[in-house]
Amino acid sequence: MALKLETAAPKPTPKPVEPVIETRSLGKIYRDFWGRKKVYALKSLDIEVRQGEIFGLLGPNGSGKSTTIKLILGLLFPTSGRAFVFGKDSTDVSKNERVGYLPEESYLYKFLNAEETLDFYGRLFEMPADIRRARTERLIKMVGLERSRRRQLREYSKGMTRRIGLAQALINEPDLLVLDEPTTGLDPLGSKDMKDLILKLRDEGKTILLCSHQLADVQDVCDRIAILHQGELKELGRVDSLLKVRDVTEVHAKGLSDQAKLEIQELIKRHGGEVLSVDNPTTTMEELFLDIVRQSEDRPGHRSGG
Amino acid sequence: MLFDLELMTPFWEWFTTVGLLNGVLLIAALSAIGFAVCYIVAVYLYGPSEGFYVIAEVISKFFRDDLPKTSFRRIAAFARLAFQEAIRRKVLAVFAVFVVGLMFAGWYLNPGADDPAKLYISFVMTSISYMMMMLGLFLSSFSLPADIKNRTIYTIVTKPVRPTEIVLGRILGFTLVGTLLLVVMGIVSFIFVSRGIVHYHEMEPMVANARKGISTYDARHSHTVTFSEDGTGVTDEVKSHKHTVSVREVDGKKVYEFGPPEGSLQARIPVFGKLDFTGRDGSKGDGINVGYEDTRRKYIDGASLSSAIWTFDDVAESRFGENLNVEMTITAYRTFKGDIVTGVRGSLILRSPDGKVESERIPFIVKEYQLDRIVVPSKLKGFRDGQPQELNLYQDLVQAGQLQVIIRCNDRSQYFGMAPPDLYLRAGDAPFLWNFFKGFLFIWFQMVIVICFGVMFSTFLTGPVAMIATVSVIALGFFGSIASGSLSGEIVGGGPIQALIRTVTQQSPTLPIEVGAEWLAEGIRFVDQGILGLLTVLTNALPNFPTLISTADFVAHGINLFEGLVIRHSAVTFGYLCLTTIISYFFLKTREFAA
């Protein structure tokens, strides 16, 4: 695992890597106005996010994913424990120089257009005008908003808002990217783009923390995940090893006759194995949809499939 | 109009005696209250020692980290955003309201008023000052709460942004919007005022080569014109202005051309003196109280030795010119009606401070409610040690820069009333435009203070509540003098508990309260004094809007706004800016935006 980590990070600094994010028995209790305890949102969480990995926080609604992210960003103050980002306390403003954050919904100024939005956030990093302009240009192109760059955000669709939100998070070329539900509100195509982008950013050496309740997303992109439920950490580990079922073997074959299938089952039985199921594989809805859209882009005006 | 002479205090004198002390007291009081409240909350949340540590950490963070690292470029970014927000949310519509208002006002403002310029100026300045306060209020109280409600603040505070920048950026941005509007409104209203008073007359038919004539009746008045040897004419002063008249010969006929009105738009520089009274027998006195006429004016008896004596410092020809202009507004209190048209007669005497040299009596008839102008020539008749002599004003009457002006009332059983600001020496004029500008500067101060308070309240209150809180601060500022007045006994009736008892039991406010036992009454008075003392300290901390608004009267009455006052209010405004920024910082710093 450590080996994989070093190859993924292109930066030529193979020093013993300090975790990008570290939480130490981080806990959060929501209180009402009078200070009475209302909800245990998070109980004593200990996680480490290392440089160059995509770390996923997974869990049902209300499991404490968003709370964790907000605690790490300093939007909430921990009731117990502490969170560190780049070795600095989560409430320290200066850590934000290297952090990009895409909130659950893109909360941006609706009276600004895309260019002005990126320009404004660039100014908050005290970027010189030429760099600001170059990055704005590049990010608008990257998220595919060239045609709507002069429109006020109030006119944007949800997907477009999401894109400009992402561009905003990348304006400072952050080392750590925190994404809260990155694919919500996106159509499958947009969702795919987002996931590709996340992988690409990881390959550029960025560390990514995301949370989601869409299992497919997490499975597709995350290197490691933490599963939260009712504010408690339930599982932590690499996605591939968590999902691997050791005593089950999968065989994919094409063009077999029914006779051949029967023979294979016989063979398995003879070796003391147990056949669980024999089936023609179905594709996922997402794959089907992406397939159709791609075909339609190749041949506009035709109904796909046939 | 009775000016508050306290406003004429030079800046350094004010700063060292009042300003600095008030500022330090206020900071000390607020720090103590703030620390106490925060500590109680922190103890509740973290326990006594940990709580203290948490507070110390937040405070040290401010001085160690956030204040020194506050970046002007980020403040400018927020200011730009606030500006864009205001413009895109169509704040400039306020300006349209103003212009429409002016158009209608033009119909209803009475051009036949005694002093139309005064009316126009006070109308535009008062309406603009309230409009700018409203604008500041709306801009400042809703912006930050909207960001917090829409969670836009999430994307802000996760950038390397410090709370000071969020607050100062907003204050700066809204101030820019306001300034822009104020400049445009100022220009429009200057045009409105100066055009509003312009009118011309023509000559009524007059006897050939006569020295005097009468003008036509225009703008609800006419003038008497006096022609001099060289043929040019000057009108008398009606409705605070006069015209110059030039004469041309066209085809053997004389054509009279009136110039525009002169003297309506002035900025006289007054020099005030110290006022003493003498009683009927000429000995030192306090002036007579004629009852509830005016709380600040004292009266002198007619046809007696009772007099009002103003002593002026630094009287020099270089300051006042060759002829000394004495201007006064004396009120007459009549114990019999007599001939109401004639008016009450008085006389003015200039005297050296040692009393040995004095001028002849200069008689005048009091123009009640209007300015009396007396021009004292530099060469005048008078007396030295009782002997008649020709005197030179600046050489004989002025001693060590000091000069006394004595007012007596000549009519038996009539009284003259005056307060220190009622008589002043006029040290020339300042340009009217400059004074007008200074008047707008005070409107600007007001607006900035409103914005500061609005932004401060919006860091921990929702929009509408922040607005109400800001309005309360403004309103309390208006009524603050009641608390200090009750405390000093200037306002009779005592404090809130006494007032309540008096209201219920219908006791007179001028008598000590009766509650059955003297010790109880004493106790009530003691508690009342405590409440009033606290209220006075608190209201002293509030911005003094009555003073700020009253500066419009200076401009309207053609009195130059004293530069020391401008500096004083810049200092006060800057003080409020710092204070509200620091308070806002702590509210934002300790706030969980995602909660």
Residues B484 and B504 in one domain: yes
A80 has a chain B CB within 8 A of its CB: no
Residues B394 and B355 in one domain: yes
Are B151 and A103 within 8 A, CB to CB?
yes
- How many independent structural domains does chain A possess? 2
Chain B: residue whose CA lies nearest to A119: B77
Least confident among A137-151, A190-204, B105-119, B127-141: B105-119
Q: Answer whether residue B407 is part of any domain.
A: yes
Q: Quick one: how far is CA A187 from the chain centroid?
A: 16
Residues 6+ apart with CB under 8 A from B31: none
User: B131-147, pLDDT tens digit by residue?
Assistant: 899 889 988 999 999 99
Domain, as residue range, for A42: 2-243
Residues 6+ apart with CB under 8 A from B421: B2, B3, B4, B5, B270, B272
Residues B460 and B360 in one domain: no
What does the alpha-carbon distance between residue A111 and residue A116 come to, in Å, rounded to a whole number?
A: 9
- In this prediction, residue B297 carries a pLDDT of 87
A32 has a chain B CB within 8 A of its CB: no
- In this prediction, residue B94 carries a pLDDT of 74
Residues A230 and A298 in one domain: no
What are the C-alpha distances in Å from A102 to residues A106, B148, B158, B159, B194? 7, 16, 10, 12, 57
Q: Answer whether residue B31 is part of any domain.
A: no
Name the more confident of A6 and B411: B411
Residue count (chain B) = 595
Residues B438 and B583 in one domain: yes
Residues A305 and A259 in one domain: yes
CA proximity to B141, closest of B443, B445, B589, B464:
B464
> With contacts defined as CB-CB under 8 Å, which chain B residues touch A94?
69, 160
Reported for A132-137, long-range contacts at CB under 8 A and 24+ positions apart, including other chains, are: A135/A171, A135/A173, A136/A171
Helix (H) or strand (E) holding A39: strand A37-45
Best probe of the B interface among A89, A109, A152, A168, by most B CBs < 10 A, is: A109
Residues A154 and A36 in one domain: yes
Q: Answer whether residue B32 is part of any domain.
A: no
Residues 6+ apart with CB under 8 A from B582: B62
Best probe of the A interface among B67, B158, B585, by most A CBs < 10 A, is: B158
Q: Answer whether residue B15 is part of any domain.
A: no
Are A105 and B151 within 8 A, CB to CB?
yes
Contact residues, A window 165-194, toward B, CB-based 8 Å cutoff: 165, 168, 172
Chain B closest-CA separation from residue A132 CA (Å): 13
Best probe of the B interface among A21, A75, A85, A90, by most B CBs < 10 A, is: A75
Q: Output the pTM of the full model.
A: 0.86
Q: What is the CATH number of the domain that holds B405?
A: 2.60.120
Residues B385 and B333 in one domain: yes
Q: What is the CATH number of the domain that holds A179?
A: 3.40.50.300
Q: Answer whether residue B204 is part of any domain.
A: no
Are A121 and B159 within 8 A, CB to CB?
yes
Q: Which of A219, A243, A267 is the last residue of a domain?
A: A243
Residues B224 and B100 in one domain: no
Residue count (chain A) = 306
Residues A237 and A255 in one domain: no
Residues A171 and A277 in one domain: no
- In this prediction, residue B359 carries a pLDDT of 92
Best probe of the A interface among B154, B156, B162, by most A CBs < 10 A, is: B154
Q: Which of A191, A226, A243 is the last residue of a domain?
A: A243
State the angle between helix axes of A285-298 and A188-203 in degrees (0 to 180), rounded to the nearest 10: 100
pLDDT of B587 strictly over 60 = yes
Are B158 and A168 within 8 A, CB to CB?
no
CA proximity to B297, closest of B277, B321, B283, B326:
B277
Residues A188 and A287 in one domain: no
- How many independent structural domains does chain B possess? 3
Q: Which residue type sits at B52? A: F
Residues A272 and A158 in one domain: no
Q: Considering chain B, what is the average pLDDT of its residues?
A: 87
Residues 6+ apart with CB under 8 A from A196: none
pLDDT of A277 strictly over 80 = no
Residues B363 and B441 in one domain: no
Residues A127 and A256 in one domain: no
Residues A77 and A224 in one domain: yes
Nearest to A107 among B74, B77, B154 (CB): B154
pLDDT of A306 strictly over 70 = no
Are A75 and B71 within 8 A, CB to CB?
no
Are A111 and B160 within 8 A, CB to CB?
no
Chain B closest-CA separation from residue A125 CA (Å): 7
CA proximity to A73, closest of A171, A158, A161, A174:
A174
Are B160 and A35 within 8 A, CB to CB?
no
Are B592 and A76 within 8 A, CB to CB?
yes
Chain A closest-CA separation from residue B61 CA (Å): 10
Chain A closest-CA separation from residue B86 CA (Å): 10
Are B152 and A109 within 8 A, CB to CB?
yes
What are the C-alpha distances in Å from B303 to residues B283, B328, B333, B338, B422? 15, 20, 14, 16, 21
**Partners of A210 in the β-ladder:** A56, A179
Exposure class string for B364-381: b at 16+ Cβ within 10 A, else e: bebeeeeebeeebebebe
Residues B406 and B295 in one domain: yes
Residues B403 and B320 in one domain: yes
- In this prediction, residue A8 carries a pLDDT of 42
Q: Are B55 and B42 in contact (CB under 8 A)?
A: yes
- In this prediction, residue B254 carries a pLDDT of 81
Residues B358 and B304 in one domain: yes
Q: Are B176 and B83 in contact (CB under 8 A)?
A: yes
Chain B closest-CA separation from residue A269 CA (Å): 59
Residues A35 and A17 in one domain: yes
Residues B442 and B576 in one domain: yes
Contact residues, B window 49-68, toward A, CB-based 8 Å cutoff: 65-66
A17 has a chain B CB within 8 A of its CB: no
Residues B108 and B118 in one domain: yes
Q: Answer whether residue B595 is part of any domain.
A: no
Q: Are B109 and B123 in contact (CB under 8 A)?
A: yes
User: B318-366, pLDDT tens digit by residue?
Assistant: 999 889 999 998 988 888 877 777 788 999 999 999 889 999 999 999 8
Q: Answer whether residue B103 is part of any domain.
A: yes
User: A179-231, pLDDT tens digit by residue?
Assistant: 988 888 788 888 888 889 899 999 999 999 998 877 777 788 888 888 888 88
Q: What are phi and psi of B372, to 5 degrees?
A: -95, 130
Q: Is the interface score ipTM higher than 0.90?
A: no
Structure tokens at B252: 């053997």
Q: Which of B222, B238, B258 is the last residue of a domain?
A: B258
Reported for B46-51, long-range contacts at CB under 8 A and 24+ positions apart, including other chains, are: none
Nearest to B74 among A101, A124, A172 (CB): A124
pLDDT of A37 strictly over 70 = yes
Q: Are B331 and B296 in contact (CB under 8 A)?
A: no
Domain, as residue range, for B296: 269-429
Q: Which of B374, B409, B429 is the last residue of a domain?
A: B429
Q: Answer whether residue B299 is part of any domain.
A: yes
Residues 6+ apart with CB under 8 A from B521: B512, B513, B514, B515
Chain B closest-CA separation from residue A233 CA (Å): 22
Q: Which of A220, A243, A266 is the last residue of a domain?
A: A243
Are B74 and A126 within 8 A, CB to CB?
yes
Q: What are phi and psi of A69, to 5 degrees?
A: -60, -45
- Placement of tokens 């008075």 in the chain: B525
Helix (H) or strand (E) holding B30: helix B20-46
